[in-house]
């Protein structure tokens, strides 16, 4: 099977897999010790404007609670996040990105800024606009199926 004969999820998965491989190589070359999963969680925590609860991160990242706990543990060991008990509900842990975590995110932003133009080389702005519009529609369709 090639191209349009493949299910859309497989095409997107292959694209993301290759892009992830390149991005991970660039992170390694920049001596940033973080996995793509850890990066996803760190970014999600940093983007959240409200108190970040572990369970919310599990829902956002579509992972079970134990997988999120392992990711949080690894980020905490690296000094990129801290967790503290929610003063209003002692059963909950709140997550915060540390200064070191923010510095890593800034450094990663620089890596992304260098590599993104390479991903879209030889693609017209019109094609990119179409790509983003179609990707958004597919995302909305998928959300309706959840």
* 32 against 54, higher pLDDT: 32
pTM here is: 0.82
| 67 within a domain of the structure (yes/no) | yes
Q: Is residue 16 part of a domain?
A: no
Q: What is the pLDDT of residues 58-112, one digit of tens each?
A: 888 888 888 988 999 999 999 999 988 878 888 778 889 999 999 999 999 999 9
Number of domains in the chain: 1
- Domain range holding 84? 33-139
- pLDDT score recorded for residue 78: 97
* CATH number reported for the structural domain that contains residue 90 in this entry: 1.10.10.10
> Could you report the per-residue pLDDT of 13-26, keeping only the tens digit for each?
999 999 999 999 99
Gap between the Cα atoms of 106 and 123, Å rounded: 27
Please report whether residue 18 resides in a domain.
Answer: no
């Amino acid at each position: 099977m090639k191209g349009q004969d493949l299910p859309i999820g497989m095409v997107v998965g292959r694209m993301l897999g290759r892009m992830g491989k390149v991005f991970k190589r660039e992170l390694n070359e920049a001596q940033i010790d973080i996995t793509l999963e850890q990066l996803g969680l760190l970014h999600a925590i940093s983007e959240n404007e409200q108190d970040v609860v572990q369970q919310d991160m599990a829902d956002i990242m579509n992972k079970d609670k134990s997988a999120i706990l392992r990711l949080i543990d690894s980020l905490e060991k690296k000094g990129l996040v801290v967790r503290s008990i929610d003063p209003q509900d002692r059963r909950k842990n709140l997550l915060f990105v540390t200064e070191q975590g923010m510095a890593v995110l800034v450094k990663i932003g620089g890596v992304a800024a260098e590599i993104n133009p390479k991903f879209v080389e030889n693609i017209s702005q019109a094609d990119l606009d179409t790509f983003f519009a179609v990707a958004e529609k597919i995302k909305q369709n998928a959300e309706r199926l959840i």
